[in-house]
Amino acid sequence: MLMQQVLKKTVLALLLSAVAMMQVQTAAAADPSDDQQSKEYAKFNKAAELVRPTDYREWIFVGAPVTPKDMNDGKPAFPEFHNVYIDPASWAHYKKTGEFRSGTIIVKELISVGATKSASGNGYFQGEFLGIAAAVKDKKRFADRPENWAYFGFDDKPSAMAQPDDACSACHKANAAEDMVFTQHYPVLRAAKAAVKPR
């Protein structure tokens, strides 16, 4: 009787640990960056306009250039802080390959300079939300655009047409460090690229 109980317990323990191991294996296989790889975050309406992204603050933050009014004769091309985010699937792809996949969307959120003094010292501190701009790379949709990137400004509209090339692309093509993107100003992307394992 005693022997039987011990045996039962042992079998039960073995079964439980087998189940636990299977669970661990399933968890390892379901790497979120893998099943996100093909997700498209840039949504277009029937008029082929980019729908204004609303959840970009939950994407990956890559950097925050600032062109304050007081250093640009009161009129920077884009006021003032630029908080830049890349969508999670394209970030996963970039970390693996060091390249912007077709489907990449990058949002630049514009925020005014608020205070110029705080408890930490003098400087530029973020003020109020002003609007967003975006760039989308899509090999099919923007086959005829430079490096397949198109650019969008929203103001307060819910969707936006791609801007003509001379309005946006030309400056990006001439000055950006990598595939039309200003990675020279985004430490997060530079670090990710440096860490890409050779394939």
| Interface residues toward ligand HEC, by CB under 6 A | 65, 67, 77, 82, 84, 106, 108, 133-135, 151-153, 163, 167-168, 171-172, 176, 181-182, 185
Question: Count of CB atoms within 10 A of residue 182's CB?
Answer: 19
Query: What gap in Å lies between CA 100 and CA 196, rounded to an integer?
Result: 13
User: How deeply is 80 buried, as exposed, middle or buried, from its count of CB atoms within 10 A (0-12, 13-18, 19+)?
Assistant: buried
Shortest Cβ 35–ligand HEC spacing (Å): 26
Query: DSSP of 111-145, one letter per residue?
Result: EEE--SEETTEES--EEEEEEEEEEEE-TTTTTTS
Q: Which residues contact 133 (CB under 8 A, 6 or more apart)?
A: 78, 107, 108, 110, 151, 152, 153, 154
Rank residues 92 and 169 by Cβ distance to ligand HEC and give the closer one.
169
Shortest Cβ 161–ligand HEC spacing (Å): 11
Rank residues 83 and 92 by Cβ distance to ligand HEC and give the closer one.
83
Rank residues 92 and 151 by Cβ distance to ligand HEC and give the closer one.
151
The upper half-sphere exposure of residue 118, i.e. CA atoms within 13 Å in the direction of its Cβ, equals: 10
> Are the C-beta atoms of 84 and 63 separated by less than 8 Å?
yes
Shortest Cβ 34–ligand HEC spacing (Å): 26
Rank residues 114 and 164 by Cβ distance to ligand HEC and give the closer one.
164
Rank residues 5 and 156 by Cβ distance to ligand HEC and give the closer one.
156
Shortest Cβ 27–ligand HEC spacing (Å): 34
